[in-house]
Chains A and B, each alone.
Chain A
Amino acid sequence: MEKLINDFSFGLFFWQFIILVVLIFVLGKFAWKPIVNALEAREEGIADALAAAENAKREMANLKTDNERLLKEARAERDAMIKEAREIKEALIAEAKEEAQAQGEKMISQAKAAIEGEKQAALNVLKNQVSSLSIEIAEKLIKDQLENKEAQTKLVEKMLEEVKLN
Chain B
Amino acid sequence: MVTLKKSLNLLAVILFAITPVFSFAQQSVETAVDVTSKTDAVAIEEEHVAVEKTQADKVAEFIDHHLKDDYSFIFFADEAEGKKYGFSLPVILIDNGLKVFMSSEFDHGNKLVEKDGQTYRLYHSKIYKTDAEGTISYDEKGHPSNEKPLDFSITKNVASLFFTTILLFVMFLGLARTYKNGPNNLPKGFARVLEPLVLYVRDEMAIPNIGVKKYRKFMPYLLTVFFLIFLLNLLGLTPLGFNVTGSISVTACLAIFTFFITQFNGNKDHWLHIFWMPGIPWPMKIFLAPIEILGAIIKPFSLMVRLFANITAGHSVVMGLIAVAFLYQQSLGVGGSVGISFVLSTFLVVLEVLIAFLQAFIFTMLSSLFIGMAVQEHEEH
Contact of B158 among A4, A12, A35 (CB under 8 A): A12
User: What 1/0 mask marks residues of chain A from 1 to 42 whose CB sits below 8 Å from any chain B CB?
Assistant: 011101111111111110110111111101111111111011
Q: Does the CB pair A12–B220 fall under 8 Å?
A: no
User: What 1/0 mask marks residues of chain B from 196 to 216 whose CB sits below 8 Å from any chain A CB?
Assistant: 001100100000000000001
A residues near B228, Cβ cutoff 8 Å: 20, 23
A117 at the binding interface (Cβ < 8 Å): no
Given contacts A16-B250, A35-B198, A36-B202, contact A26 B169 (CB under 8 A): yes
User: With contacts defined as CB atoms under 8 Å apart, how many contacts are there between chain A and chain B in the complex?
Assistant: 121
A side interface size, CB within 8 A: 37
Q: Does the CB pair B184–A24 fall under 8 Å?
A: no
A104 at the binding interface (Cβ < 8 Å): no
B residues near A14, Cβ cutoff 8 Å: 152
B150 at the binding interface (Cβ < 8 Å): yes
B residues near A6, Cβ cutoff 8 Å: 143
Q: Does the CB pair A45–B224 fall under 8 Å?
A: no
Among residues of A, the one whose C-beta sits closest to the C-beta of B215 is: A36
* In the bound complex, CA of A34 to CA of B69 (Å): 36
A residues near B302, Cβ cutoff 8 Å: none
Contact of B69 among A9, A20, A26, A42 (CB under 8 A): A9
Q: Does the CB pair A27–B69 fall under 8 Å?
A: no
Contact of A32 among B195, B224, B247 (CB under 8 A): B224
B residues near A25, Cβ cutoff 8 Å: 220
A residues near B225, Cβ cutoff 8 Å: 20
Given contacts A3-B21, A9-B151, A27-B172, contact A39 B195 (CB under 8 A): yes
Q: Does the CB pair B184–A27 fall under 8 Å?
A: no
* In the bound complex, CA of A21 to CA of B21 (Å): 35
User: What 1/0 mask marks residues of chain B from 144 to 156 whose CB sits below 8 Å from any chain A CB?
Assistant: 0000001111110
Q: Does the CB pair A27–B179 fall under 8 Å?
A: no
A residues near B173, Cβ cutoff 8 Å: 27, 30-31
A residues near B254, Cβ cutoff 8 Å: 16, 20
Given contacts A20-B228, A30-B173, contact A15 B152 (CB under 8 A): yes
Q: Does the CB pair A45–B198 fall under 8 Å?
A: no
* In the bound complex, CA of A23 to CA of B169 (Å): 8
Q: Does the CB pair A23–B165 fall under 8 Å?
A: yes
B55 at the binding interface (Cβ < 8 Å): no
Restricting to B1-47, which residues have a CB under 8 Å from any CB of A? 20-21, 24
Among residues of B, the one whose C-beta sits closest to the C-beta of A42 is: B183
Contact of A12 among B175, B183, B219, B250 (CB under 8 A): B250
Restricting to A85-115, which residues have a CB under 8 Å from any CB of B? none
* In the bound complex, CA of A113 to CA of B202 (Å): 113
Q: Does the CB pair A12–B249 fall under 8 Å?
A: yes
Given contacts A11-B152, A15-B158, contact A35 B249 (CB under 8 A): no
Q: Does the CB pair B179–A34 fall under 8 Å?
A: yes
Given contacts A9-B69, A16-B253, A27-B168, contact A38 B179 (CB under 8 A): yes
A residues near B158, Cβ cutoff 8 Å: 11-12, 15-16
Given contacts A15-B152, A22-B165, contact A8 B21 (CB under 8 A): no
Q: Does the CB pair A35–B152 fall under 8 Å?
A: no
Q: Does the CB pair B198–A23 fall under 8 Å?
A: no
* In the bound complex, CA of A79 to CA of B252 (Å): 89
| CB of A94 to closest CB in B, whole Å | 74
Q: Does the CB pair B224–A24 fall under 8 Å?
A: yes
User: What 1/0 mask marks residues of chain B from 234 to 258 whose CB sits below 8 Å from any chain A CB?
Assistant: 0000000000000111101110010
Tell me the A residues contacting B by CB distance below 8 Å: 2-4, 6-17, 19-20, 22-28, 30-39, 41-42, 45
